[in-house]
């Protein structure tokens, strides 16, 4: 194999290996999530889900739909500013279009943790 062909193979491998796949995005974020906790704020206190305090979060490719146990629904459109994949989780910087704010979301196969400044909110599938 000539030097030029070897270089082309190496460059192609590097470029394809660096490509961002939406499969991980779909696998990690898309779906219905049940709220499990919220911790932080000024006191650092935590609140946990129980039969009287529940909510769900449904994530589609461009929307987050949060439904509370009282029937209220909040819908937010979003976009991904950046994504980093680690061995056992992915971390996303998400921009919420109607708020203009950004949040960090850490997602594994079965858990989702959203950081909103000094407050963390957790969900599970």
| Phi–psi pair at 61, nearest 5 degrees | -65, -20
Closest CA to 44 of 123, 94, 117: 117
> Which residue range is the domain that position 84 belongs to?
31-124
The residue with greater pLDDT, 8 or 86, is 86
Residue 14 included in any domain:
no
Average pLDDT over residues 24-30: 63
Indicate the pLDDT class of residue 99, thresholds 50, 70 and 90: confident
Residue 63 included in any domain:
yes
Residue 115 included in any domain:
yes
The tally of domains found in the chain comes to: 1
- Average pLDDT over the chain, rounded to an integer: 80
The DSSP symbol for 20 reads P
Contact 65, 82 (CB under 8 A): no
Query: What integer pLDDT is reported at residue 6 of this predicted model?
Result: 41
Contact 35, 55 (CB under 8 A): yes
Query: What integer pLDDT is reported at residue 88 of this predicted model?
Result: 87
Residue 92 included in any domain:
yes
Residue 4 included in any domain:
no
Indicate the pLDDT class of residue 8, thresholds 50, 70 and 90: very low
Residue 105 included in any domain:
yes
Q: Kindly report, residue by residue over 111-124, the tens digit of the pLDDT.
A: 999 998 899 999 99
Asked if residue 3 has pLDDT above 80, the reply is: no
Q: Cα–Cα–Cα angle for 80, 85, 91, nearest 5°?
A: 50
Residue 1 included in any domain:
no
Residue 55 included in any domain:
yes
Q: What predicted TM-score, i.e. pTM, was given to this entire model?
A: 0.73
């Amino acid at each position: 194999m000539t030097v030029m062909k070897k270089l082309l193979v190496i460059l192609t491998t590097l470029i394809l290996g660096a490509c961002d796949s939406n499969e991980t995005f779909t696998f990690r974020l898309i779906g219905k999530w049940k709220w499990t906790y919220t911790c932080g704020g000024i006191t650092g206190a935590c609140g946990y889900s129980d039969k009287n305090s529940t909510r769900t979060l449904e994530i589609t490719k461009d929307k987050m739909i949060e439904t509370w146990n009282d029937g209220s629904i909040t819908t937010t459109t979003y976009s991904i500013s950046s994504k980093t994949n680690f061995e056992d989780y992915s971390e996303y910087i998400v921009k919420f279009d109607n708020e203009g704010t950004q949040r960090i979301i850490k997602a594994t196969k079965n858990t989702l943790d959203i950081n909103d400044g000094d407050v963390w909110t957790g969900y599970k599938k």
